[in-house]
Amino acid sequence: MQKILAGKKAIITGANQGLGFEIAKKYVQAGADIMLCARNATLLSAARAELEAMATPGQKIVSDVSDVSSEADVQALVANTYKLLGGCHILVNNAGVYGPKGEIESVDWAEWVKTIEINVYGSILMCRALLPHFKAQRYGKVIQLSGGGATNPLPRISAYAVSKAAIVRFAETLAEEVRGTGIDINAIAPGPLNTRMLDEILQAGPKKVGQAFYDRSLQQKESGGAPLDKGADLALFLASAASDGITAKLISAVWDDWEQWPEHLDELSSSDTYTLRRIAGRDRGFKWGDK
């Protein structure tokens, strides 16, 4: 792999397994220095050791056990990154949980709230902590992981669905706030992944997540789901100079021809394509719904 991230320094949250770890591997192979963050110390240590074995001499792979929903942890993580890596150019907000499963009136409310704190507040806190640094250097890449809940209802997994819609709209909004500062902010829809989160759905069973969603999840488990490297390749592209100027978009790793997008920057920048928007009646050919 070409060292397209040589000299760049990245923080990846939720990096000890699944897609976060796959993204970390791609970044290490591309030459970046990496700060890995996760809550599970044992898994994080194992992930760091594997990445260190892949790294070239002089390449820095460091880690920090942190909970991104804690403002104190986030501030310490960012300060530790500056200390150990000497700065930061790329933030991958990958940490996330499904949260409680079941109908809204019966799920544990504390678990519901904690899901919002991790999936939404965690990403926002990371952005708040890093933005002054990104603005000062007039460069930064924020890569936000989304999910199916951003664009479709997910009955009985409401905390996850709400959090993913919210964080995509935050990414779009923040991209407009910093437009013109050299900071690009995008969200990734990685497709249906066969990770520990899928196992959670299957373990919860059809009574909690609904028969239809359970059946789709079971089919996904058997078929293999979307390859992890699809989402990781898109995360690598969005971290690289090839994506400069692409911002405020929700990008499907599986369905969008994102590798061709740099050739169409003017069209992308002036269009609301690949964003969250309301569908009006006229968009579906209704003659009676709109003025």
For the annotated catalytic residues, the residue numbers are 160
What gap in Å lies between CA 164 and CA 172, rounded to an integer?
12
Residue 40, phi-psi category: left (phi > 0), alpha (psi -120 to 50), beta (remainder): beta
Among candidates 240, 277, 283, 232, which has minimal Cα distance to 261?
A: 240
**108, 143, 245, 269 from 184: Cα distances, Å:** 37, 8, 7, 12
Amino acid at 216: R
List the Cα angle 185/189/193 in 5-degree steps. Answer: 140
Q: Taking every pair of C-alpha atoms in the chain, what is the biggest distance, in angstroms?
A: 66
What gap in Å lies between CA 168 and CA 186, rounded to an integer?
8
List the Cα angle 33/70/203 in 5-degree steps. Answer: 90
Among candidates 85, 75, 2, 3, which has minimal Cα distance to 36?
A: 85
DSSP state of 258: G
**75, 96, 179, 272, 273 from 23: Cα distances, Å:** 23, 15, 26, 27, 26
| Sheet containing 9-13: order of strands | 61-65, 33-38, 9-13, 90-93, 140-145, 183-189, 250-252
Amino acid at 94: N
